[in-house]
Structure 1
Amino acid sequence: MKKYFALETKEREADITIFGDITSWPWMESDVSSYNLSKQISMLDVDVINVHLNSYGGEVAEGLAIYNCLKQHMAKVKTYCDGFACSIASVIFMSGDERIMSNASALMIHNPWTYTEGNAQELRKTADDLDKMTQLSVNAYKEHVNISEDEIKQLLDEESWLTPQEALEYGFATIVTGAEAQAKYSQSVRKSVLQKLLRQKSDPKQKDEVPEEKENLMHLFAGISQKEGKR
């Protein structure tokens, strides 16, 4: 039997390795299908699932099925970008409660595409369907990121490669491994908090509507500053 992915369990943890294309027609040993993987995920009786990714992506439906299966599992999910997490693989990456990148990895996000043929009406419908497919990925991203939906769509339109530091700053990742990356982590968070405080200061209406948020941001900024002062 072909091995489409690696899944190992030890004590109360499971390790899943997805180092290949995500497809409903797995031909190569590295190919991953949602049927094979999701079925085994649902049967796991563990507390933690570690998902290691190095994939150029693949079929939207297959990736979304894996994403949702991981999200629905009772275990804590940790996703690791061990190389590239591109296209629909980046959506699977977003299933993690912790989303970990090394400082030598990258995410790539873009709009879905397809082949089509037919008359003008059929072509227009295909374009509308693609917009809906795009929105599904946007929904997965915006559950965690700290940028707006319009900014997410702009990144998709631009077929964006995200460095670990960019992924961390935007909220795609929660941790970047490596000493240098950790130093940039605090700087990125501090920049984000400062930008929010400045926006509230320049917008009196926003300032009046969310005073408790401003207070929380001030406390967070103070904590970050103290932490950086101790480094």
Structure 2
Amino acid sequence: MIILSFWNFKNSEENEEEIELRIDGDIAMDDDFWSMLFGIENVTPKGFMAELSKYKGKDINVWINSYGGDVYAASRIYTALKEHKEKVKVKIDGVAISAASVIAMAGDEILMSPTSICMVHNPWGNFQGEAKDLRHGADVLDEVKETIINAYQLKTGKSRAKISQMMDEETWMSAKKAVSEGFVDGILYSESEGETAQNSFMFSRLRVQNSVNDSTRKFIEQYNKRFKELKQDGEANKIKLLKARLALECEL
């Protein structure tokens, strides 16, 4: 099975000293088992960093359109972009939701399309076991949240308490709101990209949420179907791997 990366580096047509990078998919860890099992197309950090290393000395324009994914993978991509010595400009042209919003914070300058959306929320996790295991899982999620707050605070300068509250409330931001909250620096295509546009894009939170929930539902249906097939085939190792991934995976 061929796993397609959902990032793409290419030379800028306008400036040979710049590179254009597009991130357009779910963010996952290297050799993600879900991808191998279902053929889901992902952004994985190992291959990403290998490609990024080819463009030392060049500015990078990063276009983002992603619903998020694995928080650990997002952390590696965020760090790789922060380590890039030249300028990194992030442009959100669709959505930067969840873990994708963490990656966006790596930009030296962050701009949003007037029709785009940014969302921050608390990390999610799936844990199994007795009561003490579930309590430990909650502690893990609390620590993961602290690492995410670090990225948002470095960009916005907001207090940790305020950012934590925004994550608790699952905050959806139009371009105008994201500028006012300090998550981005400006809006694309306005007279001055560093200034807030007068009319922000209006969106239906329910519509976006339904889209995310529908994708999750389809994924769970695929998982349950494949799990039953593996169990019938007696492939014990794959079943154990599925259970371990479900128990330990921590996603945004």
TM-score, normalising length from structure 1? Answer: 0.75
Distance in 1 (CA, whole Å) between partners of 2:145 and 2:103 is 15
Instruction: Give the length in aligned residue pairs.
Output: 187
* Identical residues among aligned pairs (%): 36
1:71-129, Cα deviation, whole Å (9 max, x unpaired)? 01101101111100000100000000010101100101101111111111111111001
Residue 8 of structure 1 aligns with an amino acid whose one-letter code is: K
Residue 6 of structure 1 aligns with an amino acid whose one-letter code is: N
Query: Which residue, 86, 92, 102 being the options, matches 1:81?
Result: 92
Counterpart residue number, 1:228: none
Query: Which residue, 133, 144, 149 being the options, matches 2:160?
Result: 149
Q: 1:123 is paired with a residue of what secondary structure?
A: helix
Question: In the TM superposition, what are the counterparts of 1:101-180 in structure 2 within 5 Å?
Answer: 101-179=112-190
Q: Deviating runs (4+, > 4 A) in structure 1?
A: 26-30, 180-184
Quickly say closer, same or farther: Cα 1:20–1:184, change in 2 above 3 A.
same
1:180-213, Cα deviation, whole Å (9 max, x unpaired)? 89696299xxxxxxxxxxxxxxxxxxxxxxxxxx
Superposition deviation, residue 38 in structure 1: 1.4
Query: Which runs of no fewer than 5 residues in structure 2 stay unpaired?
Result: 199-252
Query: Which runs of no fewer than 5 residues in structure 1 stay unpaired?
Result: 188-231
Quickly say closer, same or farther: Cα 1:109–1:181, change in 2 above 3 A.
farther
- Residue 14 of structure 1 contacts residue 46 of structure 1 at CA under 8 Å; is this kept in 2? no
Distance in 1 (CA, whole Å) between partners of 2:142 and 2:114 is 32
Residue 168 of structure 1 aligns with an amino acid whose one-letter code is: V
Counterpart residue number, 2:25: 20
Distance in 2 (CA, whole Å) between partners of 1:124 and 1:53 is 35
- Residue 103 of structure 1 contacts residue 181 of structure 1 at CA under 8 Å; is this kept in 2? no
Counterpart residue number, 2:49: 38
Quickly say closer, same or farther: Cα 1:121–1:148, change in 2 above 3 A.
same
Counterpart residue number, 1:71: 82
Quickly say closer, same or farther: Cα 1:180–1:157, change in 2 above 3 A.
farther
Residue 12 of structure 1 aligns with an amino acid whose one-letter code is: E
State the Cα RMSD in Å.
Answer: 2.1
Superposition deviation, residue 15 in structure 1: 1.1
- Residue 112 of structure 1 contacts residue 133 of structure 1 at CA under 8 Å; is this kept in 2? yes
Q: Which structure ranks higher in relative contact order (CA pairs < 8 Å, sequence separation ≥ 6)? A: 2
Superposition deviation, residue 30 in structure 1: 4.4
Residue 20 of structure 2 aligns with an amino acid whose one-letter code is: D
Distance in 1 (CA, whole Å) between partners of 2:195 and 2:60 is 27
1:11-31, Cα deviation, whole Å (9 max, x unpaired)? 221111111100122465741
Superposition deviation, residue 67 in structure 1: 0.2
Q: In terms of Rg, which structure is larger?
A: 1
- Residue 186 of structure 2 contacts residue 195 of structure 2 at CA under 8 Å; is this kept in 1? no
- Residue 68 of structure 1 contacts residue 95 of structure 1 at CA under 8 Å; is this kept in 2? yes
Q: 2:155 is paired with a residue of what secondary structure?
A: coil
Distance in 1 (CA, whole Å) between partners of 2:172 and 2:197 is 22
